[in-house]
């Protein structure tokens, strides 16, 4: 099966600019996640979708980050305005619902550098 | 809040040696995952552990879970250079309903 697709792979912006990342999960995976991975740290969950509904966005900085998953398939994560501390890799993952053994499959990530 | 702690955070090993990475977590969980990440790459699933006493093995890696102690281990047997990577454990907290990752263990295997 095709993996989780993400774009762009790399993005460099200046602080206060905006950026958007796109994710296409594995076909049939109802659950989609956005994680932020800062260099040297483990991934931190930003938001979790079940189909097109938000399950958990408790760690999403809502004053600057937004995410949507229209039609329960693709998702976009937007940052506006960006801050220096937003420099990180943004990982999208998807998971088939039902069954504890179902693992999260991660995309290659989108690396953001904020100058 | 669910806390997941790994140790050691850095591990330098010689080829052929054995070692264990530990993953402690702070609350009840019904599943634990181990992932591998190569530099500049995404995370690759290694193991899923679902019950107390579960043990999974793949090649030179063996993972185990003790839910009573809230502890998982990843044991490396006769390390080879190809195992050099960062290893993460991730715990699904039944109370919190989300997957929380540890800080990662950077493993370097030397000839």
Q: What is the mean pLDDT of residues A14-23?
A: 98
CA distance B60 to chain A (A): 21
pLDDT, tens digit (0-9, with 9 covering 90-100), for A25-72: 999 899 999 999 999 899 999 999 998 899 999 999 999 999 999 888
Q: Which residues of B touch A41 (CB under 8 A)?
A: 103-104
Phi/psi at A21 (nearest 5 deg)?
A: -120, 145
Q: What is the mean pLDDT of residues A87-102?
A: 87
The pLDDT of residue B95 is above 80: no
Confidence at B96, pLDDT banded by 50, 70, 90: low
Phi/psi at A100 (nearest 5 deg)?
A: -65, -25
Find the residue in A nearest to B87 (Cα): A42
Find the residue in A nearest to B38 (Cα): A108
Which spans in B3-110 are helix H?
Answer: none
Q: Which residues of B touch A44 (CB under 8 A)?
A: 101
Three-state DSSP class for residue B82:
helix
Q: What is the mean pLDDT of residues B59-87?
A: 96
- Residue B45 and residue A104: Cβ atoms within 8 Å? yes
Find the residue in A nearest to B31 (Cα): A100
The pLDDT of residue A95 is above 80: yes
Partnered with residue A90 across adjacent β-strands are A36, A110
- Residue B111, pLDDT score: 87
Question: Looking at the partner chain, which of A42, A100, A109 has a beta carbon nearest the beta carbon of B88?
Answer: A42
- Average of per-residue pLDDT values in chain B: 93
Please name the residues in contact with B67: beta carbons below 8 A apart, sequence gap of 6 or more: B28, B29, B51, B52
The pLDDT of residue B14 is above 80: yes
- Residue B42 and residue A106: Cβ atoms within 8 Å? yes
Residue with tokens 């190809």: B82
């Amino acid at each position: 099966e095709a993996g989780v697709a993400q774009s762009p792979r790399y993005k460099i912006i200046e602080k206060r600019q905006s950026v958007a990342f796109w994710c296409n999960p594995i076909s049939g995976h109802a659950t989609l996640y956005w994680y932020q991975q800062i260099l040297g740290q483990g991934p931190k969950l930003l938001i979790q979708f079940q189909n097109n509904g938000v399950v958990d966005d408790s760690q999403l900085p809502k004053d600057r980050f937004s995410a949507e998953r229209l039609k329960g398939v693709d998702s976009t994560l937007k940052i506006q305005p960006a801050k220096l501390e937003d420099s990180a890799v943004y990982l999208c993952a998807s998971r088939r619902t039902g069954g504890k053994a179902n693992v999260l499959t991660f995309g290659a990530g989108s690396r953001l550098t904020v100058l | 809040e669910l806390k997941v702690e790994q140790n050691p955070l850095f591990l330098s090993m010689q080829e052929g040696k054995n070692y264990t990475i530990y993953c402690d977590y702070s609350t009840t969980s019904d599943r634990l995952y181990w992932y591998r990440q190569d530099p500049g790459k995404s995370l690759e699933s290694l193991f899923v552990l679902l019950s107390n006493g579960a043990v999974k093995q793949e090649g030179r890696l063996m993972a185990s879970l003790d839910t009573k102690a809230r502890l998982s281990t990843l044991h490396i047997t006769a390390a080879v250079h190809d195992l050099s990577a960062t290893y993460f454990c991730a715990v699904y907290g039944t109370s919190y309903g989300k997957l929380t990752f540890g800080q990662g263990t950077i493993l370097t295997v030397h000839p």
